Structure 1
Amino acid sequence: MKSQASLSTYSAVFSRFTRFAIVGLSGVFVDLGMFYFLHSSLGLALTISAMLSTEIAIINNFIWNDLWTFNDVSLQPNISQKLQRFVKFNLICLVGLILNSLIVSLLFYKFQVNEYIAKLIAIACVTLWNFWLNLKINWQLTNKTVDVVVDI
């Protein structure tokens, strides 16, 4: 019985991680699309366009994670709680962005890994980092929450 519960927990976490990754992938398209629009269409400076498009992607990802990935945990109607989650999500993503840059630089400059391979490795690492921190800090899951997800 205990191993079945463990398997159910892992299955629920894997399901959430899959949704988190899908949302993250949508964020890549939002980021690139907004970057193109801001920089090429509106003529904003490169750095401003990059910063704004990244923040818009973070907002996109927060909304979809709150509505879909962690919808059973984010049912609180309190706008203050939602705003707190958004601020935490933004901070976690900021740390993830810094980690991403450090990993790419370390792999490329120190270990001579191809820059695109280094970027893919960094994305994988930071995705795991962002998911784990959001799971533990932002959308805290309890055993009861996991049981509800498994039963669905």
Structure 2
Amino acid sequence: MISFIKKPAERIRFLKFCTVGVFGAVVDFGVMNLLLQLTETSSKIASTISFIAAVISNFIWNHFWAYPDSRQKPLLRQLIQFSIVSVIGLGIRFFLFLTIENPIIQLSQKIVPATFVLSPLTVGHNITLVISIGIVLIWNFFGNRFWTYNDVK
């Protein structure tokens, strides 16, 4: 794996993948926070919906920008493979939310001052999301690079 990232083309592809991921994270955070603020949706459901919105955005950007040379497979097949990798990532993310959300919220309630612009609950949700996104990013890159986009030399 380390030698793989040493290749200049793969480093550029990884950086593009990460850039797409940052944009996807903006979609993810935005949708999750809008749902939490404007509806009575639970954080787990809001996180799932926001993840799906980010996956759609990420597939489009990765297909046309990070992997423009991946055209040997039909688009629908790539979308299905990308979605399967993402659903596994969602499972990882959901498991993380179930296991670390409450401890992080409790920690936020102890650390975040009452005068802070965001509530401890909001801070806890977002820290949980940051941790989850970081871990799932690694899974998604390697899962997609070696399966979805394995037609790229």
Q: Is the 8 A contact 1:135 1:141 kept in 2?
A: no
CA RMSD, Structure 1 to Structure 2 (Å)? 3.4
Q: TM-score, normalised by structure 1?
A: 0.65
**Corresponding residue number in structure 1 for 2:41:** 45
Of 9, 19, 35, which residue of structure 2 is paired with 1:12? 9
Count of aligned pairs:
127
User: Aligned with 2:7: secondary structure?
Assistant: helix
Q: Which amino acid aligns with 2:145?
A: L
> SS in structure 2 opposite 1:45?
coil
Q: Partner residue of 2:138?
A: 128
Shift of 1:123: 4.2
Q: Secondary structure at the match of 1:73?
A: coil
The answer to whether the 8 Å contact 2:17/2:141 transfers is yes
1:3: which partner in 2?
A: none
Give the aligned partner of residue 140 of structure 1: 150
Q: Which runs of 5+ in 2 are unaligned?
A: 104-123
Map 1:1-152; keep pairs closer than 5 Å: 10-41=7-38, 43=39, 45-46=41-42, 47-74=44-71, 81-100=74-93, 105=99, 120=131, 123-143=133-153
Unaligned runs of 5+ in 1: 1-5, 110-114, 144-152
**Distance (Å, rounded) in 1 between the aligned partners of 2:17 and 2:86:** 13
